[in-house]
Amino acid sequence: MRLDVKLLSPAGEMPTGFDDFGDREMDVPAGATVASLVDGLNLPAEEAYMTIINGESVPLSERADRHLTDGDEVVLFPALQGGA
């Protein structure tokens, strides 16, 4: 299956495979889940990434059960943090 993956505002340098704009087209096996995709991207462990699939937010608790389909657009971005 072919996916369009977008990484917004990564911490540090762009991970391998992403262009300068945070875009990457990738092939994943049939039956891949959001969890397996995110784990396979080797994103910085200190960042908690939010996930949006085709415009719909996927909570962390649902990533293991959410299967990807051919042509999905996956957007990942670090969770906003702050406070004083």
Task: Show the domains of the chain with their CATH numbers.
Answer: 2-78 (3.10.20.30)
Q: Give the span between the Cα atoms of 1 and 9, in whole angstroms.
A: 26
- Per-residue confidence (pLDDT) for residue 47, from 0 to 100: 75
- Per-residue confidence (pLDDT) for residue 78, from 0 to 100: 81
Structure tokens given for 19: 């262009």
Q: Which residues contact 45 (CB under 8 A, 6 or more apart)?
A: none
Which pLDDT tens digit goes with each residue over 23-80? 999 999 999 999 999 999 888 776 788 999 999 999 989 999 999 999 999 999 887 6
Considering Cα of 37, then 74, then 34, then 39, what sign does the dihedral take?
positive
Q: What is the mean pLDDT of residues 2-23?
A: 86
Considering Cα of 35, then 10, then 79, then 6, what sign does the dihedral take?
negative
Question: Would you say residue 83 has pLDDT above 60?
Answer: no
Query: Can you give the pTM of this predicted structure?
Result: 0.85
- Per-residue confidence (pLDDT) for residue 31, from 0 to 100: 93
